[in-house]
Structure 1
Amino acid sequence: MTPYTRAFALPPFADNTAEVVAALLELGRPNGPLDARDDLSQSPEVLADQPGTGVQDAVSAFFGQFVSHDLSLDPRSRLGRPADPRVVTNQRTPGLDLDSVYSDGPPGLHFDPADPAKLLVGDGGRYEDVPRAPDGTTMSVDLRNDDTVILSGLHAAVLRFHNHVVDRLRSAGVESFDEYRREVVWHYQWIVQHEYLPALIQPGTWAWLTRQPADALPIEFQIALRIGHAQLRPAYRVHDDLACYLFHPDGSDLRGGRRDPQRFVDWRHLLTARGQKLDRSICTPLFQLPREALPSGDAPVSLPQRDLLRHLTWQVPSGQAIAETLGVPVLAPADLAELQPYGLDRSTPLWYYLLAEAEVVTAGATLGPLGSRLLADALLAQVTAPDDWRPTLPGHETGSFTLTDLFDLAGVLDRAGSSLGG
């Protein structure tokens, strides 16, 4: 664990005044400028079966959350209260090392009692779950990976993938837990670098990157990792017999925290569905999060309000100032005209700016030039696999390895058919 850091020695986008706080709360309020105003009078089945507006598949947003949870955990700083990132401890290591799954090593893990090299996987439904205590509480290293059924299913898939790797490497004579973990981590890093990122960033971004290793996660990158909130849909079909709102006040939704025979994920549904495009339109359920989904249990319950107030916590520079520093095109005030009444059209909170940039430059298909640079820099700096390393596990395409391949080898992709795992 290390403190956070800053990537840019720039002033914050605005002073932390009552007027600025009020403006951010107004922008992120329910039924406010960012609210997509999804018609929640429609059944979740109707909403879930509508086509997504984005280019990326419906898994992308959740995989992005999973990656973000691997890189950053800050349970102590408070929204809107300035904090020096250099003295705030990141409870996750800043590398793409799956410490949100593995913790600091075996002492913090729950192993399969039948095999001490394998990780414990929960059940109690038709398919796997994260391991749970008798009261249903997750026993995962990172509690946030149980925020939704989809995230807990993704976490459980990685647990099963680890167990598959143990079997495969054992058959080749390998008996080292560190080698099992490294094999899992490097394939995960390959997915981040060669599948997740290319689907989100503009072509040509790679030419601008230096891929310098980072000892601490910059707070600007922590903000950039939140762009996946715009990709989330109001409802999802997670298997043939279950479609639910993402969150709903009455609890009939996809929130995590409990075991149930029907609460499982058929990944074929989500891999063939589309998420929402990257723009200034956030799905309505995110404006009323359940308390269980709030890391510290504090208000507000609107995720966009929380994303915006985080800029005051870290005193984050404006999107315009960072774009100028990096020499990428800056959005014109007219592109942000809706912010003029709040005085934020020329100095805009970074998260809002990145979504507006994606909407203006690519019509929401990918991030714009600044968002692409920041996200790629944030993630590629944390890749530890050697440059000449190539996947050693089988994939559907020679020399490649995808999230679909991980699901397949984990045995969670095609329950009825054959898999790569043989």
Structure 2
Amino acid sequence: MGTATSYSRAFALPPFAEHAPEVVAALLELGRANGPLDARDDLTMDPGLLAAEPGGGAQDTVSAFFGQFVSHDLSLDPRTRLARPADPFLTTNHRTPWLDLDSVYAAGPPALHFDPKDPALLIVGSNGQYEDVPRAPDGTTMTFDLRNDDTLMLSALHAAFLRFHNHVVERLRASGVTSFAAYRREVVWHYQWIIRHEYLAGLVEPGTCERATGLAPPGTGLPGTGLPGTGLPVELQIALRFGHAQLRPAYQVNNKLTAYLFSPDNPDLRGGCPGPDRYVDWRELLATNARPIRRSVCTPLFRLPRHANPAGDLPVSLPQRDLLRHLTWQIPSGQAIATALGIPVLAAADLAELQPYGLDRSTPLWYYLLAEAEVVTAGATLGPLGSRLLAETMLGPLADPSHAAPADWRPTLPSATPNHFTLADLFALAGVLDR
């Protein structure tokens, strides 16, 4: 599989705004608690009532967490600082940009997260009743990517992939396969199929993926940009944050546990807190919908707990952090990128709430993608720019023969639909679907 690279750019365009105190202040105002982006969820309500509210999104609840898992597989940038400009070409991405599950495997065995008695198998932790990520004696996750323990749902998803890998090993061994590379390839190719045919297919406008499948791999830029690079475009790192708008303020994760996503005063669903009742009933989450993609972010995300922000730096509002990251990477505006790709640009009237901040005609990309989805599709999917940007930058690795399955490959593992494979199929083979 690949090795860590630098980041790159997809567009040779000027940043959406100058790095200036008034711009920082505007972004902080947009992303503050009780500000324009805050959904103002009533966190005095019983979390069960919030969890039962209709989601309204076209994707299931799992989609938002799977998107975070995929994002963690593509990008890890622990050194750049919010609102401090950095050169992506000189910044190391500690993940590979090839959708190869290096967030799970690292460099492969032997390593701490592989079973010393059988190095082909990954260690799966237990919290007493159901599977968990492996943990040190103090409860700290031993997963290769610590962020996959930010919430109970992410740690359960990571644990499902550990069990899925082990299932694949046992299945292939039974047919005489003894190569770890073959085990990992089988897992990765099914994971990539899910990304292309389930995750992206449910997020982007119809036909977008079909028009994008011939793109080159990461680092070669989007068509017509002429901007080479060596790794993941920083525009994709920003765009993937749209999933924060899909999150609900509370979830029923099983018939014994319903809680806020994060809460300073009540039991919540943060990671790192294993217990016999802290497991995910995936059927419950697959049967509920995410929130629609729009200019509205659930209230718990405006006050991240320390566990979800291990650096401990300010601000603690996730939307503020998302917006300030545009200054770090000097990201072009949504309008400029849409114009470069020949995509209709939102009218200034569609962004009128930004006029007091001077950002209605040159809008931070993340905010623009949320607004575009809300205006064009009522939040059912990403809009035309979000769809094309996400599909083209993510499908590049899936079209590269050195990192992905051949174009004519079809899933080989048992599934509910022949020649297809979904997250529900993965959960079933991992043994985490039926409780």
Fold equivalence (TM over 0.5) = yes
Between stretches 144-153 and 116-125, larger displacement belongs to 116-125
User: What is the distance in 2 between the residues matched to 1:308 and 1:414?
Assistant: 40
- Kindly provide the amino acid, as one letter, of the partner of residue 144 in structure 2: V
SS at match of 2:125: coil
SS at match of 2:35: coil
> Who is 2:21 aligned against?
18
- Kindly provide the amino acid, as one letter, of the partner of residue 163 in structure 2: R
The answer to whether residue 197 in structure 2 is matched with residue 185 in structure 1 is no
SS at match of 2:61: coil
> Who is 1:386 aligned against?
406
Indicate if the aligned counterparts of 1:108 and 1:141 stay in contact, CA closer than 8 A.
no
The answer to whether residue 316 in structure 2 is matched with residue 301 in structure 1 is yes
> Who is 1:270 aligned against?
285
User: What is the distance in 2 between the residues matched to 1:204 and 1:391?
Assistant: 22
> Who is 2:429 aligned against?
409
User: What is the distance in 2 between the residues matched to 1:49 and 1:128?
Assistant: 26
Indicate if the aligned counterparts of 1:34 and 1:280 stay in contact, CA closer than 8 A.
yes
User: What is the distance in 1 between the residues matched to 2:153 and 2:397?
Assistant: 25
Superposed, which structure 2 residues align to 1:318-337 within 5 Å? 318-337=333-352
> Who is 2:257 aligned against?
242
SS at match of 1:236: strand
SS at match of 2:126: coil
> Who is 2:370 aligned against?
355
Q: TM-score, normalised by structure 2?
A: 0.94
Q: TM-score, normalised by structure 1?
A: 0.97
CA RMSD across the alignment? 1.0
- Kindly provide the amino acid, as one letter, of the partner of residue 405 in structure 1: D
User: What is the distance in 2 between the residues matched to 1:153 and 1:104?
Assistant: 22
Out of 377, 382, 388, the residue aligned to residue 367 of structure 1 is 382
Indicate if the aligned counterparts of 2:151 and 2:269 stay in contact, CA closer than 8 A.
yes
Out of 304, 325, 339, the residue aligned to residue 310 of structure 1 is 325
Superposed, which structure 2 residues align to 1:184-263 within 5 Å? 184-209=187-212, 210-214=214-218, 215-250=230-265, 252-263=267-278
Between stretches 384-393 and 74-83, larger displacement belongs to 384-393
Q: Which ranges in structure 2 are unaligned for 5 or more consecutive residues?
A: 219-229, 399-403
- Kindly provide the amino acid, as one letter, of the partner of residue 211 in structure 1: L
> Who is 2:131 aligned against?
128
Indicate if the aligned counterparts of 2:57 and 2:290 stay in contact, CA closer than 8 A.
yes
Indicate if the aligned counterparts of 2:120 and 2:169 stay in contact, CA closer than 8 A.
yes
User: What is the distance in 1 between the residues matched to 2:310 and 2:383?
Assistant: 30
SS at match of 2:110: helix
- Kindly provide the amino acid, as one letter, of the partner of residue 388 in structure 1: D
Q: 1:11 to 1:86 in 2, by over 3 A?
A: same
CA deviation vs aligned residue, 1:225-282 (integer Å, no higher than 9, x gap):
1110000000000000100100001251000012211111110110001110000000
Q: Offset at 1:378?
A: 2.0
- Kindly provide the amino acid, as one letter, of the partner of residue 242 in structure 1: L
- Kindly provide the amino acid, as one letter, of the partner of residue 403 in structure 1: L
User: What is the distance in 2 between the residues matched to 1:164 and 1:366?
Assistant: 33
Q: Which ranges in structure 1 are unaligned for 5 or more consecutive residues?
A: 416-422
Indicate if the aligned counterparts of 1:103 and 1:109 stay in contact, CA closer than 8 A.
no
- Kindly provide the amino acid, as one letter, of the partner of residue 326 in structure 1: L
- Kindly provide the amino acid, as one letter, of the partner of residue 356 in structure 2: P
User: What is the distance in 1 between the residues matched to 2:207 and 2:125?
Assistant: 42
Q: Offset at 1:356?
A: 0.2
- Kindly provide the amino acid, as one letter, of the partner of residue 345 in structure 1: D
Out of 28, 31, 35, the residue aligned to residue 32 of structure 1 is 35
SS at match of 2:131: coil
> Who is 1:418 aligned against?
none
CA deviation vs aligned residue, 1:119-168 (integer Å, no higher than 9, x gap):
00000232100000010000000000000000000000000000000010
